[in-house]
Structure 1
Amino acid sequence: MSPKTSESGAKTGRKGSGRNPALTPGRIAVLVLAVLALIFIFQNTQETEIRLLIPVVTMPLWTALLGMGIIGALFGAYFMNRRR
């Protein structure tokens, strides 16, 4: 089969019915996981001591969890972009 063409004869590049739904199963799964991670983070609000190589820092646990989540998301996005 050849790609679909518009009335002017230009290729549209669409596959299938041409629909691009905003909520795909993958996007829904990521959204649910993000909400669950935020609930987990904000349920843990007590102060805790964290060792950063040498110094010991006292901070709310939610700050450390949120920071690690952001760092993990940045690493994941970086390596996904490198695969392409």
Structure 2
Amino acid sequence: MSPKTSERGTKAGGRRGSLAEAMTPGRIVVLVLVVLALVFIFENTGETEIRLLIPVVTMPLWVALLSTGVIGALFGAFFMRRRR
């Protein structure tokens, strides 16, 4: 077996390992929390009234929950990026 052949084998094995390296315990916890949040959001489909400063808006509860989650995630990403 030549050195070139053995290098290819380690690179192919390294690619498989990169997925395992990318899935850190913190990322797994975040992924599980995102899935649980989405299940919670889409289980709450009833209509609700929401006051947006002055007007009262009637919308499905899942839309309000999802938009609040997205806004929170954007703020979190913004502040984490500024900290670095």
- Please say whether Structure 1 and Structure 2 have the same fold, judged by a TM-score greater than 0.5: yes
Matching residue of 1:35: 35
The answer to which structure, 1 or 2, has the higher relative contact order (CA under 8 A, 6+ apart) is 2
TM-score when scaled to structure 1? Answer: 0.76
Superposed displacement of residue 70, structure 1: 0.1
Identity, in percent, stands at 77
TM-score normalised over the length of structure 2: 0.76
**Partner residue, 1:49:** 49
**Cα distance in structure 2, aligned partners of 1:77 and 1:53:** 26
Residue deviations 1:25-75, cap 9 Å, x none?
Answer: 010000000000000000100000000000000000000000000000000
- Mapped partners of 2:81, 2:22: distance in 1: 21
Question: Runs of 4+ in structure 1 displaced over 4 angstroms?
Answer: none
AA aligned opposite 2:68: M
What's the Cα RMSD here?
1.0
Is 1:58 the counterpart of 2:58? The answer is yes
Provide structure 2 residue ranges, at least 5 long, that are not aligned to the other structure. 1-16
The amino acid of 2:79's aligned partner reads F
Per the TM alignment, residue 22 of structure 1 is displaced from its structure 2 partner at its CA by 1.7
Alpha-carbon distance between aligned partners in 2 of 1:31 and 1:51, rounded to the nearest angstrom: 31
Structure (1/2) with the larger helix percentage: 2
